[in-house]
């Protein structure tokens, strides 16, 4: 089954201790699509400017990403420029130019409206709500958000929460949204407002999935070489949603596996600049990494006498 994602399609210029990328493919919609396309057909809705090197998106199309919904508008493309210091912990944003993205009004193509799996990547909650008004009876709707929207669009974000099945957000955002330092309490706060599942991403420290009655945790894969952390969260979401769409299984065990597949895809994202790693990634490599996650956390219970 297909996944519909509405998000940004950007040009990233990134500097890490290991090198530089100039105007590389970036944006939440792009990273999500590159990751999810390893599992299932993807339908991407977004906007680029008339200066976008549209040819570069071919690599997504070749991987089964339907780009019909990527609108070309007059003006500059969304550009982000950032830098990571030696510990790779957090990006320092050097420049953000929204360009045509600032006037983006998502229009879901007719043939996309019945997509069963919908991911509302990190865009204005008003637009996320607009997408929900256009799609028809999705099986699962998940959204992401960020500090900027939590601050400036709180009422709309709360309205959105009441209408999604699942939200992914990072630990800092969860604390900001709920005004609660403790993540278990923060998750409960969010669950009380609508979503049946809350995924709190902690970057290099892994991810929690909370439901009303359960907690599941997957660590980040301990890589010896993290090259560029950009896009890891969207690649996580792509793996998570892609896995669910592929299997069509929304049971609790399947959702747990989806978190692990998401973590695996996040770990691949950071091994290269941009979406490069997803262009060469094989099914066998994904399987092998999921097995490594299994070994990483598995232990045999005993009965302590």
Which residues of the shown chain bind a second copy in the complex (CB under 8 A)?
Answer: 86-88, 181-185, 188, 202, 205-206, 208, 214-219, 222-226, 243, 246-247, 253, 256-257, 259-261, 283, 286-287, 290-291, 294-304
Task: Report yes or no: 290 and 235 within 8 Å, Cβ to Cβ.
Answer: no
In the complex, least distance from residue 232 CB atom to a second copy, rounded to whole angstroms: 15
Task: Report yes or no: 40 and 16 within 8 Å, Cβ to Cβ.
Answer: no
Q: Which is nearer to a second copy, 55 or 302 (CB)?
A: 302
Q: H or E segment at 129?
A: helix 125-134
Q: Which is nearer to a second copy, 69 or 262 (CB)?
A: 262
Give the alpha-carbon dihedral of 271, 276, 282, 284, to 10 degrees: 0
Q: Which is nearer to a second copy, 114 or 297 (CB)?
A: 297
Task: Report yes or no: 119 and 89 within 8 Å, Cβ to Cβ.
Answer: no
In the complex, least distance from residue 221 CB atom to a second copy, rounded to whole angstroms: 9
27 vs 23: CA distance, rounded Å: 11
In the complex, least distance from residue 132 CB atom to a second copy, rounded to whole angstroms: 30
- Contacts of 276-283 with C-beta under 8 Å, sequence gap 24+, read 278/34, 278/35, 278/37, 278/38, 278/63, 278/235, 279/34, 279/59, 279/63, 281/38, 283/38
Going by DSSP bridges, is the β-strand pair 91-97/117-120 parallel, antiparallel, or unpaired?
A: unpaired
Q: Which is nearer to a second copy, 64 or 75 (CB)?
A: 64
| Three-state DSSP state, 215 | strand
Sign of CA dihedral 244, 217, 165, 48: negative
Q: Which is nearer to a second copy, 143 or 270 (CB)?
A: 270
In the complex, least distance from residue 1 CB atom to a second copy, rounded to whole angstroms: 14
In the complex, least distance from residue 71 CB atom to a second copy, rounded to whole angstroms: 33
Longest distance between any two alpha carbons in the chain, whole Å = 71
In the complex, least distance from residue 220 CB atom to a second copy, rounded to whole angstroms: 9
Q: Which is nearer to a second copy, 7 or 229 (CB)?
A: 229
Q: Which is nearer to a second copy, 102 or 182 (CB)?
A: 182
In the complex, least distance from residue 49 CB atom to a second copy, rounded to whole angstroms: 37
């Amino acid at each position: 089954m297909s996944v519909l994602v509405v998000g940004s399609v950007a040009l990233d210029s990134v500097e890490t201790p290991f090198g530089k990328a100039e105007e590389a493919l970036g944006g939440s919609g792009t990273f999500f699509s590159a990751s999810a396309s390893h599992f299932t057909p993807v339908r991407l809705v977004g906007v680029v400017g008339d200066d976008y090197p549209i040819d570069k998106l071919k690599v997504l199309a070749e991987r089964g990403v339907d780009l019909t919904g990527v609108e070309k508008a007059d003006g500059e493309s969304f550009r982000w420029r950032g830098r990571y210091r030696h510990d790779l912990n957090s990006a320092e944003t050097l420049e953000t130019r929204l360009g045509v993205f600032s006037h983006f009004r998502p229009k879901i193509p007719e043939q996309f409206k019945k997509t069963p799996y919908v991911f509302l990547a990190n865009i204005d909650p008003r637009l996320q709500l607009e997408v929900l008004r256009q799609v028809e009876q999705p099986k699962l709707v998940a959204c992401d958000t960020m500090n900027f929207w939590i601050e400036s669009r709180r009422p709309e974000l709360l309205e959105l929460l009441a209408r999604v099945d699942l939200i992914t957000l990072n630990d800092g955002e969860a604390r900001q949204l709920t005004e609660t330092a403790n993540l278990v309490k923060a998750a409960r706060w969010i669950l009380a407002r609508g979503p049946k599942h809350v995924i709190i991403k902690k970057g290099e420290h892994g991810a929690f999935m909370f439901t009303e009655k359960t907690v599941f945790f997957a660590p980040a894969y301990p890589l010896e070489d993290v090259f560029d952390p950009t896009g890891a969260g969207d690649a996580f979401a792509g793996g998570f949603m892609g896995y669910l769409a592929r299997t069509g299984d929304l049971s609790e065990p399947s959702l747990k596996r989806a978190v692990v597949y998401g973590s695996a895809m996040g770990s691949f994202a950071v091994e290269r600049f941009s979406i490069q790693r997803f262009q060469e990634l094989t099914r066998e490599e994904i399987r092998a990494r999921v097995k490594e996650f299994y070994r990483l956390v598995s232990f045999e219970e005993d009965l302590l006498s």
